[in-house]
Structure formats: structure tokens, C-alpha cells
């Protein structure tokens, strides 16, 4: 399958901006956020987080704690930004709780999509449902990194791909997807997946799901071969990794369901709860032969233990390959599952981790605590 130019637009639709970048355009005006905080306005859930300088704690907009003075708050776009700002999560509103429900409006919009995934919801139709279109766009952009209309379009095309691959007639899939003409459906399908619906019957796309964890949101991407990517959404390398996947696999990424995504969501829940530190979801990493060898070696490091770059280089056949090993570790697209966080310096100190050293320390402490049980 060929990769279309449309593929270059996908990172901006699926991935959040890196948390280390300032993204004022994604946040409402400070006075608006403070008013929402005072009013505990639930429509701003997922839009911003507030750090309280006097306590060093960050909260959701709807937290029931006593409201701080305007001069004592900082606003952040993501929990990760707040953590990097030196704040710790509130124990009352649990802003990083992996089991928290999405904002009520997000759940309602998703329900409307699933009620008629092949249709379209215009701004006029949203207004008729008593949903403000601008609020819908803002909340969806904050929660998923994409607009509501982009989500609906991608969901519609993802369902179309699934039906085509199950053997559905193209004309029936076209009708169910809300397209009035065969040519319009073919063109839209090819823009996303790089080929016609008929050619796609034997070659699928990549399906993505956002997964909330105690360390921040992650993006999981899978196809029938296995899991292709699992990364924290604030990692700077995300866009480059997405480009590599689309280029090597010659297809595109859409939000959607897949058994491997269901599996990794459940296994991550068990991992963070300390119930099971092992992963059994099939993996299908994309990389060079040396990278694949390096990643296979990483998977032999037991949970609760660490190894050095020198150890890895020796195991790979050349003690002088430490830099190459470091680069391969940095190119790993399977955070936690291919445990590059278990590699440290020979002197025992922590070093380079794409997800941030604070996450590396957390993961190692977590594994040491539960691996002994």
C-alpha cells in the first residue's frame, strides 16, 4: 500500500503536544480558568489542571478542596506539565487516576458517534443537542489531541476498513459510512489508508487508543501483527516514531478498537496495580536488525533488576558498542513492555530515558517493590 500525503497530518490529530512545550493556544484565558476553578465547572475537566503554590499540589478544575487565591495558582495543560513544574497530585481529586472517567461532554459526544458512526454531526446538529460546538472542539482537542469532527471522521473510516477486511461489499460499506458516491468514498479511503478499499481487504491499517496511567496518558498502536507502539503522549520523539510506522508499514493510523489494544489496556492496569509485571500481548516492533536484537535483549532483563549499557554491548558481541546500544534503546517504541528503563550506568546512576528520568525512577521503584512479592 502506498503512503499518502494525508498521512503527515495524523500526528497533529492523535498526539498531544509535548508536555515540556508551552501550549498557551490550547488553554483558555487564565481568568476563565480561574472562574471555572472557583465554580467547579465540569465542562473544563480535561482542559486544564491547576497547581497551588502554597501547598505544592495540583488538582482538577472540579476539586472540592478550598479554592486558593488567584495569585497562588499556576495552570497547566497536562498532568505531566504539572509534575514537571514541581507539583504532586492531589489525593482528593486524583488528577492522574487511571480509572477516572472522561469529561461528561466527551462521553456524550462519543456516545453520539457510536449511535451513528457512519453519519456526521454538524455544528448545527450539535447545537440542537444543546452542545456548544466550540466547547466540544476544545474539550475533544484537550482530551484526545484532535477535534471532534476529526475523531468522528477517523472513527468512520476505521470502521469502514474493518468491514472491508471482514469481506463486506464495498458499495454497502460506502453507504454505511455516510458517503453518497462511490468515488467520494474511494478518495477519502485512499487519502487515509493509501490504497483503494478493494486493495485494503488484505492489508489493514493501524489502530490507536489513548490509555490513561498513573504516569500520564499513553498512546498504543496495533494491527493484526501485534502491538507496534506504546509511548507516553508527551514524549518528543512521538511524531518521528509515527512517521516511521506509517512509512515502513505503508498505511495510516486511526482511532479504533483492536484485540491487541484491549489486551494491553488490561495488562497495563495489572502492571500499575502491582498484580502482574509481565506482558503477554504480541509485539511487532519496527526497526533495523540491530535494533530488534537490542530490544530482544532488553526483554530478558527481569522486572526488579537492572543492567548496564556495557553489559548489553557485551551480550550483543562488542563491548565498544555502548553508544550504539544507547541509540537503539532511545529508538525503542514500546515503553515499559520493552524495558529500556531497566538500563542504567555502570556506577548505578540513572541516565537517559525518553519518558523522563522521574518516570524511570518511578518504574524501577515500582518494579522492585512488587517483583519481590
Active site residues: 340
Output DSSP code: residue 8. Answer: G
Alpha-carbon distance of 254 to 160, in angstroms, equals 11
List Cβ neighbours of 309 (8 Å cut-off, separation of 6 or more).
Answer: 322, 325, 326, 329, 343, 345, 346
Q: How many residues does the chain have?
A: 373
Q: CB of 281 within 8 A of CB of 220?
A: no
What is the rounded distance in angstroms from the CA atom of residue 33 to the CA atom of residue 44? 8
How far is 34 from 13, CA to CA, in rounded Å?
Answer: 28
Select from 65, 74, 72, 87 the least CA-distant residue to 33: 74
Longest pairwise C-alpha distance within the chain: 67
Q: Three-state SS for 210?
A: strand
Total Cβ atoms within 10 A of residue 145 = 21
Grid coordinates of 304? 526488579
Amino acid at each position: 500500500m502506498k503512503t499518502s500525503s494525508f498521512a503527515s497530518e495524523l500526528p497533529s490529530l492523535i498526539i498531544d503536544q509535548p508536555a515540556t512545550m508551552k501550549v498557551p493556544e490550547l488553554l483558555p484565558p487564565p481568568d476563565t480558568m480561574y472562574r471555572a476553578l472557583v465554580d467547579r465547572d465540569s465542562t473544563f475537566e480535561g482542559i486544564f489542571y491547576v497547581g497551588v503554590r502554597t501547598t505544592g499540589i495540583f488538582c482538577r478544575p472540579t476539586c472540592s478542596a478550598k479554592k486558593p487565591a488567584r495569585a497562588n495558582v499556576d495552570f497547566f495543560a497536562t498532568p505531566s506539565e504539572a509534575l514537571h513544574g514541581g507539583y504532586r497530585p492531589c489525593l482528593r481529586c486524583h488528577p492522574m487516576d487511571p480509572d477516572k472517567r472522561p469529561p461528561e461532554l466527551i462521553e456524550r459526544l462519543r456516545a453520539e458517534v457510536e449511535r451513528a458512526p457512519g453519519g456526521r454531526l454538524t455544528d448545527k446538529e450539535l447545537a440542537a443537542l444543546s452542545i456548544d460546538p466550540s466547547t466540544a472542539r476544545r474539550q475533544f482537542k484537550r482530551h484526545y489531541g484532535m477535534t471532534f469532527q476529526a475523531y468522528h471522521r477517523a472513527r468512520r473510516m476505521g470502521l469502514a476498513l474493518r468491514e472491508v477486511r471482514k469481506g463486506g461489499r464495498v458499495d454497502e460499506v460506502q453507504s454505511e459510512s455516510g458517503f453518497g458516491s462511490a468515488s467520494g468514498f474511494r478518495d477519502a479511503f485512499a487519502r487515509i489508508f493509501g490504497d483503494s478499499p478493494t486493495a485494503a481487504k488484505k492489508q489493514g491499517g493501524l489502530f490507536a487508543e489513548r490509555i490513561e496511567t498513573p504516569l500520564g496518558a499513553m498512546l498504543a498502536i496495533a494491527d493484526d501483527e501485534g502491538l507496534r507502539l506504546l509511548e507516553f503522549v508527551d514524549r518528543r520523539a512521538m511524531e518521528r516514531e509515527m512517521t516511521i510506522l506509517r512509512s515502513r508499514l505503508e498505511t495510516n493510523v486511526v482511532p479504533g478498537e483492536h484485540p491487541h489494544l484491549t489486551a494491553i489496556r488490561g495488562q497495563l492496569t495489572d502492571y500499575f496495580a502491582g498484580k502482574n509485571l509481565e506482558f503477554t500481548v504480541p509485539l511487532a516492533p519496527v526497526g533495523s536488525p540491530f535494533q530488534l536484537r537490542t530490544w530482544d535483549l532488553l526483554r530478558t532483563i527481569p522486572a526488579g533488576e537492572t543492567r548496564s549499557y556495557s553489559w548489553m554491548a557485551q551480550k550483543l558481541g562488542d563491548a565498544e558498542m555502548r553508544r550504539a546500544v544507547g541509540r537503539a534503546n532511545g529508538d525503542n517504541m514500546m515503553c515499559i513492555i520493552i524495558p529500556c528503563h531497566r538500563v542504567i550506568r555502570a556506577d548505578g546512576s540513572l541516565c537517559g530515558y525518553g519518558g523522563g528520568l522521574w518516570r524511570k525512577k518511578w518504574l524501577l521503584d515500582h518494579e522492585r517493590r512488587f517483583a519481590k512479592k
